[in-house]
Amino acid sequence: MTRIAVLVSGGGTNLQALIDARATFPDAELALVLSSNPDAYALKRAQSVGIDTVVVNKKDWPDRVAFTRAILDKLTEQRIDLVVLAGFMFVLSPEFCRVYENRVINIHPALIPSFCGDGMYGLRPHQAALDYGVKLTGATVHFVSPETDGGPIIAQRALDILPDDTAERLQRRVMEQCEWPLLCEAVRLYSAGALTVRGRIVHIDR
């Protein structure tokens, strides 16, 4: 059984998608929700369905290295196999990626390598896609590496940009049609032992 920790900072809509889809990945357990924010609504989502929660408040630690080690300590205590970043608003130190190499999954609201990297979060990737005039956008689920949004790509899903799209409308459509199903599928594939990484290529044995 793959024990999963979901790292959050805010409302937890991606976490809710995982909670709702739990039956589709029977080889995994949502074992822990770890929040950098004690007031994150995601904590209530987890607690309402009996998932253990813990807060590691960024404000309690002097720097990124200490913050990262505090999180690693909690993950080790809980014997976590896979980490899912679901609206987690901090970039952790490279030590995190070394300890959990190819065991940290993130979802990005664009088709990497477009509209990604430092500072590209929230509405920004969607506004960038609209400003550039691309006809397709979507989401990418990938393993996390020290380079922001630079890890091996697990899967991508695209949708058409519509003439009346705003950044807010596009964000909602990408989230519902691309991010949520991609993230749940990636967790299912990982927990079923169907993902193999060679270099930066992810091979999927369905």
CA-nearest of 116, 198, 112 to 155 is: 112
pLDDT for residue 91 = 84
Catalytic residue among 108, 126, 142, 203: 108
pLDDT for residue 84 = 98
pLDDT for residue 179 = 97
Catalytic residue list contains 142? no
pLDDT for residue 90 = 84
pLDDT for residue 117 = 94
pLDDT for residue 89 = 87
Strand 195-198 to 201-204 pairing: antiparallel
Task: List, run by run, the mean pLDDT of 10-residue segments along the chain (206 residues).
Answer: 96 96 95 97 97 96 94 97 93 92 96 96 97 98 95 98 98 97 97 96 92
CA-nearest of 96, 102, 83 to 195 is: 102
Contacts of 98 (CB under 8 A, 6+ apart): none
Q: In whole angstroms, what is the distance from residue 124 CA to residue 129 CA?
A: 9
Q: In whole angstroms, what is the distance from residue 17 CA to residue 57 CA?
A: 24
